[in-house]
Amino acid sequence: MISLNQISKKLTVSAVIFGSVFVIHNQVQAETQEEIQSQREEVQSEIDDKEAELQSLKDELVALNEDIARINEAIESNEQKITDTKDQIAQVEEQIEPLNEEIAQLEEKIAKRNKILEERVSTLQEKGGSQSYLEVIFGATDFLDFVDRMTLVNKITKSDQELLNSQKEDKEAVEDKKEELDQKLSDLKDMKAEYEAMQTQVKEQKEQSEAYKEELEAKEEANQDVLDDLNVEEQVLANKEAALEDAQNQMNSHSNDIEQFSSNSNNHQVASGDVQTVINVGKKYIGNSSYGFSRGRSAKDIANGIFDCSAFVSWAFRQAGVSLPASTAGLSSTGSRVSPSDMQPGDLVFFNTYKTNGHVGIYVGNNEFIGSQSSTGVAIADMSSGYWNDKFAGHVRRVMN
């Protein structure tokens, strides 16, 4: 028969052996978690770099699109100017057409006048030129006849002079009109050529901008693919870390004595701490936080108010000196389960969202809880009706006295 003393010795030896194994396991697991955390920090650093690079590309694309918009406006404006110039050229050409007819008519008149002058010159030559005028004058029969002949000769001479002057003026007027229209037409054609050259240059600039835009968009797509891969890698590491943390918490929950180790009952212990600290510490994030899957486990995320539900709960309790798992799986077996009718502020409340116990928050009283909600970030929500009431299945755990 085994004595009580022998049983006591065996229990002591078992406790020492278990404690040694527990310490060794903790050391190995701590090293593994440290490695994973280091990997996550490296991946997060790469994610931050890629996000910054993507933002820079987006900013550059915005500026480039604005440039392209201005180029399109310039192209449209130049097209309008070219069209207007073509219209003006057509109008000038329409003005030149009747002018050519006028020139033809004036040339015809000039030709007729030349013929008249030629005939008069020929007549004068036949009659002795100015001698004929003298014969006409001195052939008068009396003084009145002399005066009449002088007047006639003066009229003929004056008419010839006026005819010559008129011919000269008409010719100059025609030449001036033609020169003016030719100059205007030349200026318009030069203007049109200048606009067309400008249009060609602007279109080339647009082609270059469009090509650069395609290059930036290709870079953006490639960087987004890399970022997606990094986020997947970060998520895998986060899941590994959460699994290891759950295992660590389960080992910690069995460390009191051999009896609790064998019965796996230590999960029902509760810690001491300030409930009001847990409830109030997260209120500073209400309205200026966001939900991020597997986020809220780094100093950077916490500073920026980025949490998932379990990370927020773990962080809030940590501010009151209570260490809890940072996963819903770990939290769902922590502390002791209580009836919903016995809920008190500081208790954990679980909701069956995308899975059983898929969401967790901290009960604050009056059928309300605070948590990092996927739609709002950190917020206080009503669990007495609506969505959260539908998802609440009565799972409540107490982790603090």
Beta bridge partners of 362: 348, 370
Domain membership of residue 348 (yes or no) is yes
Domain membership of residue 107 (yes or no) is yes
Cβ-contact 216, 57 below 8 angstroms: yes
Query: 3-class SS at 140?
Result: coil
Q: Which two tokens stand for residue 76?
A: 């449209």
One domain for residues 267 and 399: yes
Domain membership of residue 55 (yes or no) is no
One domain for residues 74 and 220: yes
One domain for residues 163 and 290: no
One domain for residues 218 and 271: no
Domain membership of residue 56 (yes or no) is no
Domain membership of residue 114 (yes or no) is yes
Residue in the block written with tokens 């030896």: 13
One domain for residues 285 and 349: yes
Cβ-contact 381, 361 below 8 angstroms: yes
CA torsion 63→64→69→75, rounded to 10°?
A: 140
CA-CA distances (angstroms) from residue 318 to 33, 90, 285, 312?
19, 85, 16, 10
- CATH number for the domain harbouring residue 183: 1.10.287
One domain for residues 161 and 302: no
Overall domain count for the chain: 2
Give residue 322's pLDDT: 92
One domain for residues 80 and 173: yes
Q: What range defines the domain where residue 98 resides?
A: 67-225
One domain for residues 220 and 267: no
Give residue 138's pLDDT: 55
One domain for residues 83 and 194: yes
Cβ-contact 76, 256 below 8 angstroms: no
- CATH number for the domain harbouring residue 386: 3.90.1720.10
One domain for residues 209 and 306: no
One domain for residues 274 and 384: yes
One domain for residues 104 and 170: yes
Final residue before a domain boundary, out of 166, 197, 225: 225
Give residue 267's pLDDT: 42
Domain membership of residue 174 (yes or no) is yes
CA-CA distances (angstroms) from residue 401 to 57, 257, 345, 360, 397?
53, 22, 10, 19, 12
Domain membership of residue 244 (yes or no) is no
Residues sharing a CB contact under 8 Å with residue 306, sequence separation 6 or more, in sequence order:
289, 290, 291, 292, 295, 296
Instruction: Render each residue's pLDDT in the chain as its tens digit; 401 residues.
Output: 333 344 343 334 344 333 433 433 443 344 467 778 788 888 888 889 888 988 988 898 888 888 888 888 888 888 888 888 888 888 877 877 787 787 787 778 777 777 776 666 455 445 444 445 555 555 656 657 555 556 655 556 666 666 667 766 776 777 787 788 788 878 888 887 878 887 787 788 788 888 988 888 888 888 888 878 888 777 777 777 777 777 677 666 555 444 443 333 344 444 445 889 999 999 999 999 999 888 999 989 999 999 999 999 999 999 989 999 999 999 999 999 999 999 999 999 999 998 999 999 999 999 999 999 988 899 999 999 899 999 999 999 999 87
Give residue 161's pLDDT: 62
Residues sharing a CB contact under 8 Å with residue 348, sequence separation 6 or more, in sequence order:
313, 331, 334, 335, 360, 361, 362, 363, 396, 397, 398, 399
Domain membership of residue 99 (yes or no) is yes
